Amino acid sequence: MAPPSPRPGHGLLRCPICRLDLTAAAGALACRNRHSFDLAREGYVNLLRGGRHRPSAGGDNSKQVRRRESFLQSGHFDAVAATIVTYVQRSGAEPAAGCWRVVDAGSGTGHHLGAIAAMLHAPVVALGLDIAREAARRAARRWPGHAFAVADLWEEWPVKDAAADLVISIFAPKNFAETARVLAPGGWLAVVYPGPNHLVELNHPFGLMRHHQGKGRRYVAAARRYIGPPTVARLTRHAVLEGDGIRDALLMGPNARRINPSTLDAATGPLTVTFDLVVLLSRGPSAT
């Protein structure tokens, strides 16, 4: 069997140890200093600092990843990708390299990255980053044209300076400093986070994590500081969920770690649930 080959999006990466460019080398990505990172057979690469065999601690576990995959395939969050692409393309922004270089910081199953790449008018070079190896594995299998890497978003990203025309962060850690570093002049940031009424009908019966409204203000302030003046859009819809649909919504994210399993016996429905999403978009200054 031939060794796995790098994908176009892997060209946006740099060595997490010495920051030199990574190039293909017999089933791996390597830099001139001989730091080498094997490509998994599914097509992703593990770039966690501290050794490529270090386990992917943190992030979503395999059950959460499967729940998220099931939930997103139901189309409940499809408006997210459409909103981001509409804003970016209405601005008249054109990628300087002749193709959109999109980095998904917290790519999970790759659902949003795949949807955005399909909607953009120009060719796309896409790279997803996630600390969960299971998420990167599933995403790489589902989206063979896009690149995925295991990385810690709270640390320095293994991405070249000014390498991205669009960075997306959807229900994921927000590292505005690293976003600013990897964005090309005139590049866009799109951040999505829960609004105050998100899953409000599930709060009382299942004791969900509270959404702190102060986070939204901090995100706006950070975007203005690091990127440019932000625009905020609110996406609200209601859907009737039952059975596995309710369980997917509850268990696909951090709430899975705090819900008492015995309470899930009551998650039968049908129940009308609110999806309240905030989309923050910010564009960096163009080159002078």
Output the pLDDT for position 55. Answer: 43
Tell me the per-residue pLDDT of 186-228, one tens digit each, with 9 for 90 and over.
Answer: 999 999 999 999 988 888 777 776 666 789 999 999 999 999 9
Output the pLDDT for position 51. Answer: 47
Q: How many CB atoms lie within 10 A of CB 85?
A: 20
Architecture of domain 51-283: 3-Layer(aba) Sandwich (3.40)
CA-nearest of 90, 100, 138, 86 to 252 is 138
Read off the pLDDT of each residue in 161-170 and give the average, rounded to a whole number: 97
Tokens of 274: 């609110």
| pLDDT tops 90 at residue 113 | yes
- Residues 183/284, Cβ–Cβ less than 8 Å: yes
- Residues 169/106, Cβ–Cβ less than 8 Å: yes
Q: Which residues of 197-215 are buried (b: 16+ CB within 10 A; e: fewer)?
A: ebbeebeeebebeebeeee
Output the pLDDT for position 269. Answer: 73
Average of per-residue pLDDT values in the chain: 90
pTM for this one? Answer: 0.92
The domain spans of the chain are 51-283
Read off the pLDDT of each residue in 239-249 and give the average, rounded to a whole number: 90
Q: Which helix (H) or strand (E) holds 81?
A: helix 78-90
| pLDDT tops 60 at residue 2 | yes
What is the band of 29 on the pLDDT scale with cuts at 50, 70, 90? very high
